[in-house]
Structures are given as structure tokens and as C-alpha cells.
Amino acid sequence: MATSTMPSLTPMTNDVLLPVQEIQAISAVPKILETVAALTGLGFVAVAHVTPTSWTTCAVLDRLDFGLKAGDGLDVATTLCDEVRSCGESIVIDHVQESAQYRDHHTPRMYGFQSYFSIPILRPDGSYFGTLCGLDPKPMPLSSTASVAALELFAELISKQLETERAHAVTQTDLTSERETAELREQFIAVLGHDLRTPLGAVQSGVDLLRRNLPAAQAEGVLARMQRSLARMAGLVDDLVDFARGRMGSGIVLHLRQESCLEQALQQVIEELRQIHPDSPVVAELGQGIALYCDVGRLGQLLSNLVKNAIVHGVPGQPVRVAAASADGVFALSVHNHGDPLAPGVTQQLFKPFWRSPAASPSDGLGLGLYIVAEIARAHGGTMDVSWADGEVGFRFAMPATAAHGGQAG
């Protein structure tokens, strides 16, 4: 656009990404820039987000090949927009060479312009957003009262649109949150009512039978069934407590300590599951002397949920394979079962609360098992991956093996 050299652009950081997105979301901005360019005759017009430390292009109309595009930044100290931010007043220059204030200023020399304007854009609460600005290497009559008033009007219009878009985004977020809450509430009531009714009914039936003074042998069988029903209800309540903590933002509570032989605790979980599911073989390959700073009880819960899921959804009679090892600073725990390929979209649903596959039976639980698995993984600073290969569905948990990460220690 001029004989001077274009300064180096500064990379866009996360703290200025949102203002760029805000302006890009306003459909009227391109038309505003075209109108301003036609009104002023300038070849470069832009909306910029300006802070004490950054100048970032949010939208641009560039007929001068200036080289800026949305998201690009300049050293704010080299711009006149920084002065507008400091004083809160517009800057309008018809002809730099005829301006006593700006003829020797470093910014016109650096960017090679003779005509220039920068109008502050304020948010409705009065906070500073940035500027509507423009420039050209040729002098242009910009400072007339009518021209300045029009430019200020366009800046105010952008300000109003920012607030409109913000209010719309808040409304959409609130609607989405309300919709999700309503959906979860309905699922919660329906699933909890159904799944607790069955074991409660079993306990009530047992109580009724015991009141008939059954012989000791029969009473022991009834008591055993009641005990299993109570254990199932306790498990449902524990899952619901973990779910509530996750939804309220406090997350899964961890009791972290250094474990020197984690494989022993994992083996105990596997043995218990083998006793509960004798017809579902579980094959384990556990490394020896696995040292990990973790909540061993929660990792046992994670493994138990994954194996139960594999048994329920795997091919009957086919083994469930469990592997755990620590290597290269990463602890990994995986569970594989024979099964069909995951349907499109299912992977994204697996770890959502109350989600069950269409083929799941009512006795398969609340649909919180994998959600809690994901919460335990997140609390440990780890990740959960799902894959399908060679006829097997695989779940893999991995976390750093060197130190504690994330979570809320209890």
C-alpha cells in the first residue's frame, strides 16, 4: 500500500480469539466496512480489538494489499488505535503531511498512510472493545462534521450488534442448558424409578416371606437374595452420588496416595468379578510392581465398570481381556471384549450419563457406568479411548505415572 515495510505480524493468542469470533458472528460487519470505504474513499477499513498489549484484526476490507486478515495482530505500540484507547477520543486525519501533530509521528511513517481515522468501539457497559479504523496512502477529506458523525454512527452500530450477539449467545446457552437439564431430569426419574423398584420389590418380598417364620434353610436363601438386592441398591446410590458430584462441578473425589503394587488391587477386582460372573471368562495380563500415585479404590471402580460393560455387551462365552502396565512414564489400563463394530455416533454417546445402547436390557443398570469411568479418568488427569479392531471393542485408560494430576483429594 505504500513504500514503507510492513511490520511483522504477531500471532493470535487465545485471549483475543473470542473478540475476533464476536465480530465475525455479526453478519452486518462486511456491509458496514464496504459502506465506510465508499463513504471515505479509503482503501483499507477494519474493525480491530485493542488492549494495552495487543492489536488484532477482527474484520477487514483491504483494497491496498496491506496484508492483514482476520486474526492477524500488530504491535499495539506502533498503532494510533493505542492512543484512541488511552484517551477515549477519535483520531481523524485528512492529510498527514499537513498535520502539525502527526507529520513527524512514527506510525504514519511506518505504515505509509496520509489519511486515517480511528473511532472507538465501546461495549454497552462502557468497557473498551477496540476501534473502527481506516487508512489510505492518499489524502482524503475525512474530518467534516458529517463524515465524523457517520463514522461514529457505524462504530455505535457495531457496539449495539456486539451486545445483541452476546445476549443471543447467552439465551442459546441458557436454552441448551435448560433442555439438557430437563432431559437429564426425565431420565433420572424414569431410570431410577425403574431400577430401584426391582431390588426394593425383592427386599419387600423377602420381608413378607420371613414374617411367615420360614424354616432356617429357606430363610437363609431369602436373606441371601435380600443381601444381593441391597448391594445392588447401594451400588445404584453410589453411582447416583458420583453422577451428582460430577454434574455439580465438584467432580469425583480422590483419596490419592502412592501405590507400589497396584496390580494386586486390580487382580482382586478381577477375582471378585469372576466369582459374580462365572460364565464370563476374564483373562488378565498385569504388569508387576506397578507404582502409581492414584486413588486405588477409584481405579478399581473404573476397572470394575469397564469389565462389567464388556461382559454385558460382549459375545457370551468369549473372554474379556484386561491388561495393565506402566512404561515410559504412562500407566495404561485396557479392557477388550469380542463385539460388533461401534455404530456411527455411538462413540460420542458412550460416556454420557444415562445413555444405554438400544440393545441394552432394563437390568443393565442406570447407564452411568461409563460416565463414571470417564469422570474417574478425568479426575486422575488421564484419558479414555475407545476403539474397534479385529472383532474386538477396546477401552483404554491412560494417565501420567510420575505424579498426581487433577482431581479433588479427599
Would you say 252 and 408 are in contact if contact means Cβ atoms under 8 Å apart?
A: yes
Q: For residue 283, list its beta bridge partners.
A: 321
Closest CA to 386 of 410, 365, 357: 357
What does the pLDDT read at residue 3? 38
pLDDT band for 312, please (50, 70, 90 cuts).
confident
pLDDT tens-digit profile of 252-262? Answer: 778 899 999 99
62 burial (CB, 10 Å; 0-12 / 13-18 / 19+) is middle
What does the pLDDT read at residue 4? 41
pLDDT band for 359, please (50, 70, 90 cuts).
low
Strands 330-338 and 392-400: antiparallel
Q: What is the dihedral of CA 241, 350, 308, 333, to 10 degrees?
A: -100
pLDDT tens-digit profile of 145-189? Answer: 989 999 999 999 898 888 776 665 665 655 656 666 566 555 555
pLDDT tens-digit profile of 235-253? Answer: 656 666 666 555 555 567 7
What does the pLDDT read at residue 406? 42
- CA angle, residues 130, 134, 139, in degrees to nearest 5: 145
pLDDT tens-digit profile of 66-104? Answer: 889 998 999 999 999 999 998 889 999 999 999 999 999
What does the pLDDT read at residue 410? 44
- Distance from the Cα of residue 174 to its chain's centroid: 17
Alpha helix segments (H runs only) across 248-400:
262-276, 296-313, 346-349, 369-379
Residue 142 pLDDT more than 90?
yes
Alpha helix segments (H runs only) across 211-277:
216-247, 262-276
Half-sphere exposure of 250 (CA within 13 A, CB side): 10
pLDDT tens-digit profile of 326-356? Answer: 999 999 999 999 988 877 666 667 877 666 5
Q: Compute the distance between CA of residue 360 and CA of residue 113 in angstroms, rounded to an integer.
A: 69
Q: Compute the distance between CA of residue 6 and CA of residue 291 in angstroms, rounded to an integer.
A: 56
pLDDT band for 57, please (50, 70, 90 cuts).
very high
* Averaged pLDDT score across all residues of the chain: 81
